[in-house]
Amino acid sequence: MRRRDIFALGTLALAGTAATAASASEAPSGGGGGATLNIAGVGLPIIAGGRIRNYVFVTISLTLGSGTTPEQMRAKEPYFRDALVRAAHRTPFVLADDWTQVDAPAVCAMLMRAAPSISGAGSIASAQVALQAPRRRTGVRAS
């Protein structure tokens, strides 16, 4: 096995462990006391002019609806990740003046539209982008 394959597997194992540890927490929200599900480490592309300019890694916090537990929703997390990445490649969540951030309201709106088909009506009360970490932090601006 090549050395770079070993490093890649180690990196993937660490990322998977960190994402699993942060994936669900029972924290009451300010609105209704519902639990939250955190979807961590999703890489969304920043595409401008037909080229990939940057990647922004986001953590999404989904507030669960009444009667839904984090244990039920953990099984649906890969489907939310897949829907988010597919939508980001189809229509990138790009801000016109900044390539180091995603359009957070657009990401949340897309997740709220996809939630009923993924996990059932009323299972997700709200979504919010909790954290954004760009791959390149240079503040690339469109000219």
Residue 25 has pLDDT above 60, yes or no: no
Structure confidence by residue, pLDDT tens digits, 75-115: 999 999 999 999 999 988 988 888 889 999 999 999 999 99
User: Is residue 53 in a domain?
Assistant: yes
Banded model confidence at residue 34, pLDDT cuts 50, 70, 90: confident
Please give the Cα distance from 98 to 71 (Å, whole number).
37
For the whole model, what pTM was predicted? 0.70
Task: Tell me the residue range of the domain where 119 lies.
Answer: 23-134
In a domain, 75, yes or no: yes
Confidence class of residue 127 from pLDDT cuts 50, 70 and 90? very high
Task: Give domain status of residue 72, yes or no.
Answer: yes
In a domain, 95, yes or no: yes
Residue 12 lies in a domain: no
Question: Residue 50: inside a domain, yes or no?
Answer: yes
Number of domains in the chain: 1
Q: Residue 139 above 70 pLDDT? A: no
The pLDDT value given to residue 14? 52
**55 inside domain:** yes
Flag whether 87 is in a domain: yes
- Mean pLDDT in residue range 64-69: 88
DSSP one-letter string for the chain: --HHHHHHHHHHHHHHHHHHHTSEE----TTT---EEEEEEEEEEEEETTEEEEEEEEEEEEEEPTT--HHHHHTTHHHHHHHHHHHHHHS--EETTEEEEE-HHHHHHHHHHHHHHHH-TTSEEEEEEEEEEES--S-----
Which CATH number does the domain housing residue 117 bear?
3.30.479
